[in-house]
Amino acid sequence: MSEILLSAENVSLTYKTRVGGFKWFEHKALNDISFALKRGDKLGILGRNGSGKSTLLRILAGIVPPTSGSVICTPGVKRSLLTLGLGFRQDLSGRDNALLSAMLQGYRRRDAKARLEEIKEFSMLGDFFERPLFTYSSGMRSRLGFSTALYTGIDILLIDEALSVGDATFRERAQNALEQKLGGDQSLVFVSHMPGQMAKLCDRVIWLEGGVVRMAGDVAEVSEQYELPAEPMRE
């Protein structure tokens, strides 16, 4: 049996948000979630808007602590949230943004610089790579984001809807690159509201709804249930 890299035990999270003056609003975003991720596992988290999937990813990445329960990550395991356009700034060139973003993902300056040509080539941005970001179309921006984010060396990739980027040609390229990266021991947690993407990348799916696990299991099974009409959103 392969080792467990990351496990969530009875994770709950309550947002306490201030809504003006001394008024507070409480919202239970996650309620009693448990699962384990082994080396090489490809786990999908499926859910509609506001189902708590991005919040869960944030907790798994170790960015925020859960209100109760715990997330246990095996010491020495590197996990990272693959985020499109991490720390991008409108008034810097694609090259500068790529450098900044790669360094935020944990690269040293010289390593990040060494990757810039690869990123430029993969993004297919050509001369635009040297121009400021505000001259980009939204598709170009996501190309740059994806190309930059892809170049990381970590054990668990946590991805939030990464594949809905760019035009058809680039999407295929992105998909292939990701599949290549995911071969072998790479573990993955992939968050999306579209079961179609899940089928290509994941072997196990958790369906979140209103902060609780509605269903867990094989991709095809869960997708079938998920595609039935949605219930109205509840508090």
Partner 1 sequence: MRLRQFFELVDVQARMSLKAEASKLYLSYLWWVLEPVLYVLVFYFVFDVVLASGKADFLLFLMCGKIPFLWFSKSVNSGSNSLVQNKGLMGQLDVPKTLFPYVTLQEVLYKQWAVFLVLFAMVMYYDNMPTLNWLWLVPLMVTQYVFIAFCTLLGAWLVSYVRDVRMLIHMGTMFMLFTSGIFWDINQVQNEALKQALLTWNPLAFMIDAYRSVLMQNQMYDLRHLGVLAGVMAAGLVLVHGLYHGQSKRIAARIVAS
Site for partner 1, rule CB under 8 A: 15-18, 58, 61-65, 81, 83, 86-87, 89, 91-92, 96, 99-100, 103-104, 106, 108-109, 132
Of 48 and 89, the one with the shorter C-beta distance to partner 1 is 89
Minimum separation from the CB atom of position 108 to partner 1 (A): 6
Residue 191 backbone dihedrals phi, psi, to 5 degrees: -110, 130
Q: How far apart, in whole angstroms, are the C-alpha atoms of residue 128 and residue 138?
A: 13
Of 38 and 89, the one with the shorter C-beta distance to partner 1 is 89
Query: Which residue in 49, 8, 64 sits closest to 31, CA to CA?
Result: 8
Tell me the three state secondary structure of residue 173: helix
Contacts of 114-120 with C-beta under 8 Å, sequence gap 24+, read: 115/151, 118/151, 119/144, 119/147, 119/148, 119/151, 120/94, 120/95
Minimum separation from the CB atom of position 172 to partner 1 (A): 26
Minimum separation from the CB atom of position 160 to partner 1 (A): 9
Minimum separation from the CB atom of position 86 to partner 1 (A): 6
Minimum separation from the CB atom of position 55 to partner 1 (A): 9
Cα 84–Cα 52–Cα 73 angle in degrees, nearest 5: 75
Residue 130 DSSP one-character state: G
Of 110 and 184, the one with the shorter C-beta distance to partner 1 is 110
Q: How far apart, in whole angstroms, are the C-alpha atoms of residue 73 and residue 71?
A: 6
Of 65 and 139, the one with the shorter C-beta distance to partner 1 is 65
Of 103 and 124, the one with the shorter C-beta distance to partner 1 is 103
